[in-house]
């Protein structure tokens, strides 16, 4: 893999909106909160300026405007940084979008600690928890550029609110072009018999690397990409956990309320097995380079391997 093979999931946002509009989706519009270059909605604005609205630094107004556009038959996509696009605008997402079940697509970028030097104030590690608790909201977390393109398309095709979590960090390719994705379906990337690694977003390629390392220790790890966190593919996760008997979840998010919590809820009700959650341990982020922060907060492949060893010792 070369450096040029690595692409941030945010790069798929504006480009995919342009593709959809060129395919005849006249209903699609985009809104941004003074961050169009960073979120890449500027690509859509350059081709369809009459369908793009930069609201300035006013995320609450952006969501309210999107709700109005949706009530008039449009399919609005909103862009901002995740900390602002979900945290600052939470009340509007709850009451103006989810409560009336409007087709607003909340697709902020710069989620997680891989935002890097921007620091803890801009590193959103609570967004999955905030979005998945809302009635009517769906939550998608793509693992690479290809999955991000698919997530934007699924959002466009799905009636009602959808949250797509996008990032700033360049990621290696996990999927080939043309890979199939569905709302509510996880992707089993590697079959295994001894332990299940359930990952999402930037942690998927790290989970695959951890599976390679575990194979060197004689441990067969199954890797599941929880691309759709809400609705969660409970059937796939329970089937995998039932066969392997142990689970480690891996996410660039707080361990409280995120994907790991969703998996724990499913396992608790359907197939209780020993599990550990790899994620940010109830802390804010800090300034640093992305890989330094991933190491500091225990989000690397060796940390996943260590968690797997601990779980297996409990069998």
Is 251 an annotated catalytic residue? no
For 178-200, b where at least 16 C-beta lie within 10 A, e where not — what string?
A: eeebebbbbbbbbebebbbbbbb
Catalytic residue among 19, 23, 59, 265: 59
Residue positions annotated with a catalytic role: 59
């Amino acid at each position: 893999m070369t450096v040029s093979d690595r692409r941030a999931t945010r790069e798929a946002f504006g480009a995919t909106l342009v593709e959809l509009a060129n395919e005849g989706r006249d209903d699609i519009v985009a809104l941004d909160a003074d961050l169009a270059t960073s979120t890449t909605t500027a690509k859509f604005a350059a081709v369809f300026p009459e369908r793009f609205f930069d609201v300035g630094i006013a995320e609450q107004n952006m969501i309210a405007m999107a709700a109005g556009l949706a009530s008039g038959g449009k399919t609005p996509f909103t862009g901002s940084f995740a900390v602002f696009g979900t945290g600052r605008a939470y009340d509007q997402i709850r009451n103006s979008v989810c409560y009336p079940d409007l087709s607003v697509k909340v697709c902020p970028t710069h989620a997680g600690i891989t935002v890097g030097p921007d620091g803890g104030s801009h590193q959103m590690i609570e967004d999955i928890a905030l979005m998945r608790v809302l009635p009517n909201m769906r939550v998608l977390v793509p693992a690479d550029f290809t999955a991000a393109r698919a997530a934007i398309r699924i959002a466009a095709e799905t009636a009602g609110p959808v949250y797509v979590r996008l990032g700033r960090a360049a990621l290696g390719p996990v999927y080939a072009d043309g890979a199939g994705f569905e709302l509510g379906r996880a992707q089993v990337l590697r079959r295994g018999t001894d332990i299940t690694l359930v990952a999402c977003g930037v942690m998927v390629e790290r989970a695959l690397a951890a599976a390679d390392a575990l194979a060197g220790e004689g441990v067969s790890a199954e890797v599941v990409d929880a691309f759709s966190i809400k609705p969660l593919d409970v059937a796939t996760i329970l089937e995998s956990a039932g066969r392997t008997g142990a689970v480690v979840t891996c996410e660039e998010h707080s361990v409280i309320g995120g994907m790991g919590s969703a998996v724990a809820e499913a396992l608790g009700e359907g197939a209780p097995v020993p599990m550990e959650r790899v994620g940010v341990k109830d802390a804010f982020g800090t300034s640093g380079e992305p890989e330094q922060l991933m190491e500091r907060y225990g989000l690397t492949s060796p940390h996943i391997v260590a968690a797997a060893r601990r779980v297996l010792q409990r069998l």
